[in-house]
Structure 1
Amino acid sequence: RDLSFAGGMWVFPGGRIDDTDFDPEAPGNPDDADEAVENAARRAAAREAIEESGVEVDPTALRRWSHWTPPPLQDKRFSTAFFVAPAVAADVRVTIDDGEIRAHRWARPDEVIRRRDAGEVALAPPTFITLTQLLRHDSVARILDAAPTGPIEHFSTRVALR
């Protein structure tokens, strides 16, 4: 609740790409800036998962899912890549630091959406849309098969008055 961005909402671990996430020795075309940023984003996602939750994720197992940018009027703006990956071991221990993470729960997308609809949890729009997309698939294998191999879906949230 005290965070300056998405405080009190249930979100996926995240953060920013640091200079150390760029690896000039990474496989691929070193002259392809987009590929370098994507590889750095994978390493950043894995690093942030460890830093925020203690959960180790293999960056090479991450598959692109979507890309989000908030509306221009937002005070804090992020260019956010969402990835999917095979589940980590069932007995993995998540670290609660009472800083960025106050609680955690392993849950299926349908359970989180049900809890949101019941008013039990708040979800940021990217989290809600991503979970809704994942609901279209009945297994992790099908989600991974559905992950784009080419251009990914780009979302730009907008503010609307009702």
Structure 2
Amino acid sequence: MRELPKELTLPSGFVPPEIPDPPATPKDAATVMLVRDADPDTGLEVFLQRRVLGMAFAGGMTVFPGGGVDRRDADTSLAWHGPPPSWWASRFACDVGLARSLVCAAVRETFEESGVLLAGPSEESVVSDVRPFAEARAQLVNRELSLAGFLAESGLVLRADLLRPWANWVTPVEEKRRFDARFFLARVPEGQRPDGDTSEAADTRWGRPTQTLDDWKAGKVGLLPPTWTTLAELEECTSVADAMSRDRRIDKLMPRVARDGDVLRIVLPGDAGYDTAASHLDPSDRS
């Protein structure tokens, strides 16, 4: 894993000066990097959303689609093709029931937030035109319909084989809203185009990892450490096939917040200062 740059700091007031007592329990969540091949000389592109400013979590930040696990994601009645929940459980070091819910949340949130549907009429096919499912998408967003109900009514099979496990990030204990987010990678199915038709995104775009990191360095976009790190990892992939073929070790990463002068920095396990990161961030209490 690449070391986080010193310029990657948290906005003032992003976390409270004291760790909540007790710390918030992380909510299980799924994040999906949608990728496509661009010019052979520039590698792959990834779909990005800039969250609406003022949102309770990561407002104004540029992120990948995703969200929390819904209790109905545990429904076992849906048709499933690809690695079984037990395989996902072994990769994300969680129980089988949660693994199933995480994959379902990944598929559901991707459809809700970008319009990309990782499902098909059979185990060998994928939906190429999602327009007939616009009403169902809105019902999923409004929690009027479950993913299992939608797929059953539409005669569709969840395509777990189109996803790859990538990472597991846990929000630092200093934050009031915390997530235990599993990151997935998925190629956009042929014929489908991600859109910005979601109330959570101010705008959306495709971006090469290198260009997005350059935009961050120039102050054009805001990135949180998991997004920065993932872009840096995708920057090393020569193509979508290369990225999808990587057998990654998934470690649970929980950053800590440390004060460096007047700024807040994120430190990762293994970084200098991780074990000594202050549990109280009030400048008046610094040693």
Deviation at 1:93, TM superposition (A): 4.6
Map of 1:17 onto structure 2: 69
Alignment CA distance shift 1:77-1:28 (3 Å): closer
Name the SS of the counterpart of 2:116 in structure 1: coil
- Pairing partner for 1:128 from 211, 228, 231: 228
AA aligned opposite 2:195: V
Instruction: Choose between structure 1 and 2: higher strand proportion.
Output: 2
Partner AA of 2:63 in structure 1: V
- Give the superposition deviation at 1:96: 2.8
Amino acid at match of 1:161: R
After TM superposition, give the deviation of residue 106 of structure 1 in Å.
1.1
Q: Which residue of 2 aligns with 1:48?
A: 109
Superposition pairs for residues 113-124 of structure 1, below 5 Å? 113-124=213-224
Query: Are the counterparts in 2 of residues 17 and 40 from structure 1 also a CA contact under 8 Å?
Result: yes
Aligned to 1:110: 210
SS in 1 for 2:223: coil
Residue number in structure 1 paired with 2:50: none
Kindly indicate whether the alpha-carbon contact (under 8 Å) linking 1:9 and 1:121 is maintained by their aligned counterparts in 2.
Answer: yes
Q: CA deviation at 1:90?
A: 6.4
Aligned to 1:139: 239
Residue correspondences, number: 157
Cα deviation for residue 115 of structure 1 reads: 0.8
Q: Residue 69 of structure 1 aligns to which amino acid in structure 2?
A: V
Amino acid of the structure 2 residue aligned with 1:73: E
Which residue number in structure 2 is paired with residue 85 of structure 1?
Answer: 186
Asked if the contact 1:116/1:123 (under 8 Å) is kept, the reply is yes
SS of equivalent residue, structure 2 residue 62: coil
**What is the TM-score normalised by the length of structure 1?**
0.86
Query: Secondary structure of 2:95's match?
Result: helix
CA RMSD, aligned part only? 2.0
Structure 2 residue 4 is the aligned partner of structure 1 residue 4: no
Cα distance in 2, alignment partners of residues 62 and 117 from structure 1: 30
Whole-angstrom CA distance in 2 between matches of 1:119 and 1:6: 16
Task: Confirm or deny: 8 A CA contact 2:85 2:99 kept in the other structure.
Answer: no
**Closer, same or farther in 2 for the Cα pair 1:113/1:90, shift >3 Å?**
farther
After TM superposition, the score normalised by the length of structure 2 is 0.51
More helix by percentage: 1
Is residue 171–residue 255 contact of structure 2 (8 Å, CA) maintained in 1? Answer: yes
Displacement of 1:126 = 0.8
Q: Which residue of 1 aligns with 2:170?
A: 69
Q: Is residue 68–residue 126 contact of structure 1 (8 Å, CA) maintained in 2?
A: yes
State the distance in 2 between where 1:155 and 1:28 align: 22
- Structure 1, unaligned stretches of length 5 or more? none
| Cα pair distance change 1:86/1:160, threshold 3 Å | same
Instruction: Give the structure with higher Rg (CA).
Output: 2
- Cα distance in 2 between the residues matched to 1:90 and 1:110: 26
Work out which of the residue numbers 118, 124, 129 in structure 2 matches 1:57: 118
Q: After TM superposition, what 4+ stretches of structure 1 lie above 2 angstroms from structure 2?
A: 23-29, 87-91
